[in-house]
Structure 1
Amino acid sequence: MNWATGRVLAIVTAFTFLPASELHAQQIWKWSGQIGAASEGVSKDVAETAGRGQLRGAVEAAYGPVFLGASLRNLHEGPDVDSQQEYVLGTRGKLAGFDLSFSGGYKIKGNAPSGFDANFVEFEGTIARTLSSGTTLRLTDVYTADAPGPARRDNFLEFGVAQVIDKHWSVSGAVAARTITPKSDYTGMNIGVSYALRPKTSIDLRYYDTNQHDFGNDFKSRLVVAVTQGF
């Protein structure tokens, strides 16, 4: 069992011991979603729309600690891949003051050329804690054993910090390490500020960079503005 799988299993085990009151409280379906637009699409600190804008939409249905989700966004990866669909099943809850979540997602690269490995499963686990000062500390691990394209194992480990300033303003940042087989590892970072225009409407200005500019333009620094509307 590799180190990434061990962390995933640890998160799953933690949910096994959640108190019954957490697991069974208010068992009704709750629906939510969001739509968003960004000056450029970025995933795991790397550009995914080659300097073009991005539109995305997502919906989620939660029943107690279990949630189902679906999302769609445009991409520009090479001459063909133009979108990505995601279908997610997961669980979330609290344990000893920590917010825990774990999910598995089936993801599809749209309009992929013949022979391209466009379908893959990705697992994500997060542990977070919000302090009385309004500071949130977060550790997220994203892992797949069969990444799209020529890659195979892909693990993205990120530590993030967010600070609420007031009812409108917040700042956040994160550092991450990504390990990919065949080897094309890099470290990344982002830092930005968000402003809540309305309770479910926000605008975010964020700077991204990696330590591997030699990998190509997608790995170079960039400034991205994004607007999100929840419902």
Structure 2
Amino acid sequence: MLRTLTNAALLAAAPLVLLASTAHAQDAGLSGGKWSFSAGAATDNRSKDTSKSDGEPFVYGGAEWANASGLFYASGSLETIDAGGSNLESELALGLRPEFAGFDFDLSVAHKNRFDADPGYDHDAWEFTADTKRSIGPASARLRLQYSPDSTGSTEAFTWVALRGGWDFTNKLNVSAEVGYRDQDNSVDYTGWNVGGSYALTPKVELDLRWHDTDADVPGEQYKGALVAGVNFAF
């Protein structure tokens, strides 16, 4: 039941995101927006608490354009992976970040593509994401609902539901924990979790140390627990 409601909500939101995104882009004009850039590296590429790089280090880079109000954005990124014969994945996304009743929302649709994958490997996917966030003083929380009608590789449709909580001990140090559940067609269902902290060395450089794990009993590095260290740069 939860999966059916989640899938319906995300699919219903997708055309609204695209229509509103187009309207706001036309109203604001590209000249009224702002560009931001990011890059980084970590000892493992973790997504939904599983490894996309077979437990090996990875690097990434991305760019985002947001309109003058910050409501509409478009982004693109590249990251190294090790899956299906591919070593590079791209993501292009459109989204909205509205605010309502003290809550921050992030609604997006993204297309992912894995370059030079093995013949017969399903190398691309659409993903729909809805985040609801709230901060009160040093405390923060986020509920994430994510759905793909046909994921990469042998996985078909999946739903990911995750709740994260965080606490700012200082203006530089944040500690957070997240637990989520992934329901996958033609692949293993699992509960994943992570806990760790981030520290801002400067306004543009952040360090992150986090433990990721799942309850999936699957051989190999993909679902295995690991301590992941990373560094992120903002421009």
Give TM-score, length-normalised by structure 1.
0.89
Deviations 1:9-54 (A, max 9, x none): 6767998xx9xxxx9x987201112100101111110011122111
State the alpha-carbon separation in 2 of the partners of residues 52 and 164 from structure 1. Answer: 30
- Code of the residue aligned with 2:89 in structure 1: it is Q
SS of alignment partner, residue 214 of structure 1 = coil
Equivalent position of 1:205 in the other structure:
209
> Secondary structure, in 3 states, of the residue corresponding to 1:220?
coil
**1:134 has 2:124 as partner:** no
Kindly indicate whether residue 152 of structure 2 is the aligned counterpart of residue 148 of structure 1.
Answer: yes
Gaps of 5+ in 2: none
Distance 2:209 2:145 in 1: 24
1:86 aligns with 2:130: no
Contact 1:204 1:227 (C-alpha < 8 Å) held by counterparts: yes
CA distance in 1, matches of 2:91, 2:164: 23
Q: Provide closer, same or farther for how the CA distance between residues 13 and 89 of structure 1 changes in structure 2, counting only shifts above 3 A.
A: closer
Greater Cα shift, 3-12 or 206-215: 3-12
> In percent, how many aligned pairs have the same letter?
30
Residue-by-residue CA offset, 1:66-109 (whole Å, 9 max, x unaligned): 1000000000124x111110000111110111001111111101
Decide whether the 8 Å contact of 1:178 with 1:185 is kept in 2.
yes
AA aligned to 1:67 is Y
Residue 163 of structure 2 aligns with which residue? 159
The answer on 1:217 being equivalent to 2:221 is yes
Question: SS at 2:218's partner residue?
Answer: helix
Deviations 1:109-142 (A, max 9, x none): 11111121111111111001111x3111100111
- Give the aligned partner of residue 9 of structure 2: 7
Does the Cα contact within 8 Å between 1:11 and 1:100 map onto a contact in 2? no
Task: Classify 1:122/1:157 alpha carbon distance in 2 versus 1 (closer, same or farther; 3 Å).
Answer: same
Q: State the aligned residue count.
A: 224
Alpha-carbon RMSD across the aligned residues, in angstroms, is 2.5
- Tell me the distance in 1 between the aligned counterparts of 2:15 and 2:113: 28
Q: How does 1:162-181 map to 2 (within 5 A)?
A: 162-181=166-185
Task: Indicate which of 177, 187, 190 corresponds to 2:194.
Answer: 190
Q: Which moved more, 1:121-130 or 1:210-219?
A: 210-219
Q: In the alignment, which of 55, 69, 76 is matched to residue 70 of structure 1?
A: 76
Distance of aligned partners of 1:115 and 1:12 in 2 relative to their CA distance in 1, 3 Å threshold: closer
Q: CA deviation at 1:214?
A: 2.7
**Residue from 120, 127, 132 that aligns with 1:115:** 120
Tell me if the contact between 1:73 and 1:83 (Cα under 8 Å) persists in the aligned partners: yes
Distance 2:72 2:172 in 1: 30
Extract structure 1 runs of 4+ deviating beyond 6 A: 12-15
Measure, in 1, the Cα distance between the counterparts of 2:15 and 2:143. 17
Query: Does 2:111 match 1:106?
Result: yes
TM-score between the two structures when normalised by the length of structure 2: 0.88
1:125: which partner in 2? 130
